Structure 1
């Protein structure tokens, strides 16, 4: 327990300090606003007890500073009878209580002890909120430019209430990104409600999102809040939003604009504070131009677009992802360089979802020990025959151009290191140098 006392009356400040010390309450005393500000900049106290009228810096200014630095710290204002309106205003602005001079010692002690209890409760609530925030923020892994660019956008938009449209191929981790944004937001300790728009029958869509009143339609035997209201204070994630019926899109647009919904069968709209994050693997702009998705809703959702890159654009993250997934499934295996190389060179048309399932399968089959190259499933081996599986054009193929492309991509893969590139291509270094000179690729 610690109390900071700011009082310019030295005798009164000394008496208060001695009394609190006698009651086992640690305290510090300063006699002006400057010293008070300096102490607050150094540390947080359980309670701040300050006179409202101080020389140079007023108690009101100190209270405002304390509120900014330590929102959970209760502030008690000491005031003379004539300054009560100032103290009342401070309470309206968030001060815990005020006490009028002259006061009884018992009254002061009672007020401070209650404030200390409140401080303890507030700090515990803050710890719980932080814990919930940590729990709700999924573990992400990667260091590739594409991944870091995506995370930077997610971190930028997370603290706001702006709608977010997450785009990307199937299996890239759009819902995980949505949960990451929610976990980094001020809503992290509230609900994250995920709705798969492709899984809801069209006739039930409106009721599922906006709720309904009992008797609104056949089978409505009770009131239902709806997903938007269930996510009150938190985040609603609309996955595959391109599958949402046009008739429901109109109502969703109204909710985004007005922050209110009208359940089926209800007479009046209801205000709801819910953030919306949507995701799609479709081209909503193209759909809006064709009339299969509302253009106004597209622009309302696309306030802040976040693209999740496909795994082929972040191959340098695969080793980290493999480690993450193997730990997730409690495996005792480690991956050899050969196994990692094969995983890094596979096509992964199913993106991260396919990689995770493959790692899970390997962990189950291997159990423990080192995963060798032959332990990697054939379909994910990244061998030449698999990676070059393609349809040959009817009008011929320029083999020289193909060789140049392969060499160029290999050089990029190894950062221009010619020795590693030659080893990777299974040719002597002098042969690679000859090819580079031949194709004018130096």
Structure 2
């Protein structure tokens, strides 16, 4: 493919809208495939590939998607998190406190709701973490599509919240869903990470060094029993994300620029293709709203995330010195709280990890994730459109120039001649813009 076309495609894949649309398309394709030809879909998932090595890398395509492709996604998430710590909202405690509290409450309350829903004899408490995650790609994609006039501070709040949410999800996966730890493999994986850090700190360059090393670190982490995506986020956090000297980009920014199209255009959509294929029928949908585990997931995403994020932020602003960004209103925050209930990628992954021995239950959990995420997406889109229309109207009012003098009318409402009606308003040469001293005509 010629260079201009390649550049255009990779630039498009870096945008939040395109990444979100691709993820949605592949998820829909998975649903269609799984419901029209379930046997072929299952056979593709179970097809094994990879070397028969001591590290047990002869894996099914489903396992490669869960453990391998998502490691790329978490690598990019790790870089984003590091960048937030050194140059973003998490750099200063005063700016970080509200989105961090929102993220923590947005993880805790869905887990509590799920646990309550599954506290009875027919419940499945091991899935408590499924509704705790926010999908960055989907959430930012929806915001980018419907939020043309929304304040930029709203995106910054959502991005910071989602990045912290991802960090908590990684910790949950590492602590609660890692079994049979092999410490020799885990120790060698940490040694590889230390070598990765040392080479990077010394300024050693060359993808031919880092890519094989990254694969070895990932393979050892996978063999250790700790979920392999932890290796991805660890390597992302190691990268330097601040500029030194006359650098135009930090190494972290440069590598994220290169890897993001791979993550958004291949890794995450293919994971969705292998993870979102659940059988949808009348009875399956009925189970989503009648069985403890699925209904706990739906309620956790729709009510738990919204209430946790919005309520946690309000309580922090009410009882601490933390303040909501002056560009935002509580109506904006409520809309983005609903949007954060879209828990797609990581929630699907945790559904697999929570019920490894019960494929039917894992499928019901995935169906609940899809239903809950869809409900949150539809409701959030409606709320964000209302807020977008509100801000669009404000912009129109601020830019209105009824008399065509080149000065927005909002700046002239204190002028008695202007208030007297269009026929009595002075011409452009006779009027002064607000705050301009007499004798200094408008340019």
Same fold judged by TM-score > 0.5? no
Name the structure where strand makes up a greater proportion of residues.
Answer: 1
- The TM-score with structure 1 as length reference comes to 0.20
Whose RCO is larger (CA < 8 A, sep 6+)?
A: 2
Name the structure where helix makes up a greater proportion of residues.
Answer: 2
